[in-house]
């Protein structure tokens, strides 16, 4: 007897669209924006009160680019930026692109041994840095590691006379030299190195081209209908793709205005900037939106100009999304999914998607990209509706890890598919659900447990503000389920008994957390992702029960 049922569609999707890829360099694309909208605002740095029109912004970018030329920065030289969010960060981004230097993003949270590693591994010859941030004296740290970094010729500090002196080198008589340099550049040249968060060993430097990041920023902006009328509030770090690509490049490629609310995330400063600058778009990871929604006096902010924005970094709880749409007026907010190695966005929800698609999925494939879901062991494409590893291919895939061809080959296969390490399911309609990291999946007594499912369920508990679920070692079952909870009211914390009672008869027994840890905050990366590995390490050896 034959089975006449149709075979399930494979978990593969190709993004089509009527808008062509951009063939520009970043500098040429900025020139287009300046020609179209010279008098529109391009950048507002709220803490300092400074603002630039597109014409003024391009003039300052060119001045800094000429200063780089005067400092003998050649095409392909690596220029580091170790700074918090500020206008100078943005100027460095576009000025290095103007001359074909490779800007290397350095995490503001790095300590001396991490900075030394990046300076040496990338061969950074010129470094721009903040003076200090959150107790870190960047100048002292640079001087400490400088003897071990022979390529580093010069360090320039923002808000310091060294910045003013450096910019003064960009005299007008180098304008022709700048024009000739720009004419030598290809959109496929490497332009940016971003170090991915290393969970074991040192981080790897994802190397990205003009073509990678300009197009990714452009299409992210296209899908939320950016125009020169938009004003984009970016409280996420520029150090990460979320800020510098989805924020800066999405804005300038559409003639929109970039608004910097603070040096680092501050919920009150963010909402105040949205109100004062009449922002139409707001970015953040879910924990940022949660902090804003729970801010005392939240209801007093006028957020009526908002229409859209981007939430990314981790899954959005349903209740948070409902409040973002209803109370922050962000009816067209998008969920984005990606990774540094893919510039970063591969999947995005659309402005007219319903609540379920915005919270249950991370959207569908972007134009001009491909995604598929494969069996992690065999590489064979899985049928739709079944879990496997998410892979992506197209213009967004990095050139490789800087000076590490073997690690590049481990991440990008012979077909140029980038293997994300994420477990995902593609629905029949092409939307993708992320069910966890391959390394984060909990295997309890032979049962596969996906933390996202339990987290989403626990968000419904009236005492829980935020929750992360991880697996920790267990002598009998191999792993057990630990819920790390931030309570809604610190004076009335949740107990393990209450948590388990809430789950009883509603979750399968092996999914119910057997341990609980009540925290004030989660350990986070600078890009706003929860460091689950730290939670596992911190509580892995704790006694059973409440950690």
In DSSP notation, 159-192 reads TSHHHHHHHTT--GGGHHHHHHHHHT--TTSEEE
Tell me whether residue 30 is in a domain.
yes
Residue 199 pLDDT more than 60? no
Nearest CA to 177 among 36, 283, 75, 31?
Answer: 75
For the chain, what percent of residues have pLDDT higher than 90? 82
Tokens, residue 32: 């287009």
In DSSP notation, 210-279 reads HHHHHHHHHHHHHHTT--TT-EEE--S-TTSHHHIIIIIIHHHTTTPEEEE--SS--HHHHHHHHHHHT-
In DSSP notation, 416-432 reads -PEEEEEEEEE-TTS-E
Res 541: pLDDT: 64
Residue 371 has phi, psi (to 5 degrees) of -135, 150
Residues in CB range of 426: below 8 A, 6 or more apart: 11, 12, 13, 371, 373, 384, 385, 432
CATH number (domain holding residue 156) = 3.40.50.980
Report whether 479 contacts 471 (CB < 8 A): yes
Please say which residue of 133, 165, 186 terminates a domain: 186
In the predicted model, what is the mean pLDDT of residues 261-272? 97
Q: Are strands 257-260 and 41-45 parallel, antiparallel or unpaired?
A: parallel
Report whether 523 contacts 535 (CB < 8 A): yes
Q: Which residue has the higher pLDDT, 313 or 403?
A: 403
Q: Are strands 205-209 and 190-195 parallel, antiparallel or unpaired?
A: antiparallel
In the predicted model, what is the mean pLDDT of residues 408-414? 96
pLDDT band at 451 (very low <50, low <70, confident <90, very high): confident
Please say which residue of 143, 158, 186 terminates a domain: 186
Tell me whether residue 406 is in a domain.
no
Each residue's pLDDT tens digit, 492-516? 999 999 999 999 988 888 899 999 9
CA angle 46, 49, 50 (to 5 degrees): 100
Report whether 107 contacts 239 (CB < 8 A): yes
pLDDT band at 146 (very low <50, low <70, confident <90, very high): very high
- The residue segments making up the domain with residue 488 are 440-539
Tell me whether residue 463 is in a domain.
yes
The CA–CA distances, whole Å, from 233 to 44, 236, 308, 343, 527 equal 9, 9, 11, 20, 16
Please say which residue of 139, 154, 186 terminates a domain: 186
Distance CA 339, CA 369 (A): 14
DSSP character at residue 147: G
Distance CA 372, CA 384 (A): 10
Count the domains in the chain. Answer: 2
Tell me whether residue 165 is in a domain.
yes
Distance CA 482, CA 471 (A): 6
Tokens, residue 277: 């600058």
Tell me whether residue 370 is in a domain.
no
Instruction: Give the pTM.
Output: 0.86
DSSP character at residue 397: S
Preceding peptide of 38 cis, ω within 30°:
no
Tell me whether residue 419 is in a domain.
no
Tell me whether residue 46 is in a domain.
no
Tokens, residue 335: 């969920």
Residue 534, H or E segment:
helix 532-539
Res 375: pLDDT: 93
CATH number (domain holding residue 459) = 3.30.300.30
How high is the mean pLDDT of the chain?
93
SS3 26: helix
In the predicted model, what is the mean pLDDT of residues 347-370? 96
Res 527: pLDDT: 61
**What would you report as the CA-atom Rg of the chain, rounded to the nearest whole angstrom?**
24
In the predicted model, what is the mean pLDDT of residues 97-120? 94
């Amino acid at each position: 007897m034959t089975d006449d049922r149709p075979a399930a569609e494979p978990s593969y999707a190709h993004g089509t669209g009527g808008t062509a890829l951009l063939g520009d360099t970043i500098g040429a694309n900025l020139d287009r924006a300046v020609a179209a909208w010279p008098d529109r605002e391009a950048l507002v740095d709220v803490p300092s009160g400074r603002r630039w029109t597109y014409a003024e912004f391009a003039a300052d970018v060119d001045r800094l680019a000429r200063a780089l030329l005067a400092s003998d920065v050649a095409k392909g030289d690596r220029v580091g930026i170790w700074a918090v969010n500020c206008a100078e960060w943005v100027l460095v981004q576009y000025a290095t692109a103007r001359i074909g230097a490779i800007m290397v993003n350095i995490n503001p949270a790095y300590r001396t041994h991490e900075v030394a590693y990046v300076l040496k591994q990338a061969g950074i010859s010129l470094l721009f840095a903040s003076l200090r941030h959150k107790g870190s004296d960047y100048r002292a740290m640079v001087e400490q590691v400088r003897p071990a970094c022979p390529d580093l010729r010069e360090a320039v500090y923002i808000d310091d006379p060294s910045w003013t002196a450096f910019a003064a080198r960009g005299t007008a008589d180098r304008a022709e030299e700048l024009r000739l340099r720009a004419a030598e550049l290809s959109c496929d040249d490497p332009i940016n190195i971003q170090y991915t968060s290393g969970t074991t060993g040192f981080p790897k430097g994802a190397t990205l081209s003009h073509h990678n990041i300009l197009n990714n920023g452009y299409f992210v902006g296209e899908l939320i209908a950016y125009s020169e009328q938009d004003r984009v509030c970016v409280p996420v770090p520029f150090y990460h793709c979320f800020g510098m690509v989805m924020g800066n490049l999405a804005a300038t490629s559409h003639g929109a205005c970039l608004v910097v609310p603070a040096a680092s995330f501050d919920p009150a400063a963010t909402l105040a900037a949205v109100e004062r600058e009449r922002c139409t778009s707001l970015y953040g990871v879910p924990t940022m939106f949660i902090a804003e929604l729970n801010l005392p006096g939240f209801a007093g902010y006028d957020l009526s100009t908002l229409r859209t924005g981007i939430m990314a970094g981790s899954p959005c709880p349903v209740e948070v999304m409902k409040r973002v749409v209803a109370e922050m007026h962000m009816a067209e907010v998008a969920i984005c999914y990606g990774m540094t190695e893919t510039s970063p966005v591969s999947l995005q929800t659309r402005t007219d998607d319903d609540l379920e698609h915005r919270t249950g999925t991370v959207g569908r494939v972007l134009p001009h990209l491909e995604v598929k879901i494969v069996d992690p062991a065999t590489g064979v494409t899985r049928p739709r509706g079944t879990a496997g590893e998410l892979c992506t291919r197209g213009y967004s895939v990095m050139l490789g890890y800087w000076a590490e061809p073997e690690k590049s080959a481990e991440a990008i296969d012979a077909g140029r598919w980038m293997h994300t390490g994420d477990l995902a399911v593609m629905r029949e309609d092409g939307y993708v659900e992320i069910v966890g990291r391959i390394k984060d999946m909990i295997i309890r007594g032979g049962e596969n447990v996906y933390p996202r499912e339990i987290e989403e369920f626990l968000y419904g508990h009236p005492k829980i503000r935020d929750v992360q679920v991880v697996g920790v070692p267990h002598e009998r079952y191999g792993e057990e389920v630990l819920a790390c909870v931030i309570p809604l009211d610190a004076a009335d914390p949740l107990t393990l008994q209450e948590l388990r009672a809430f789950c009883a008869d509603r979750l399968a027994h092996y999914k119910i957390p057997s341990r609980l840890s009540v925290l004030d905050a989660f350990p986070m990366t600078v890009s706003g992702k929860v460091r689950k590995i730290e939670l596992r390490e911190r509580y892995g050896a704790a006694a059973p029960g409440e950690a």
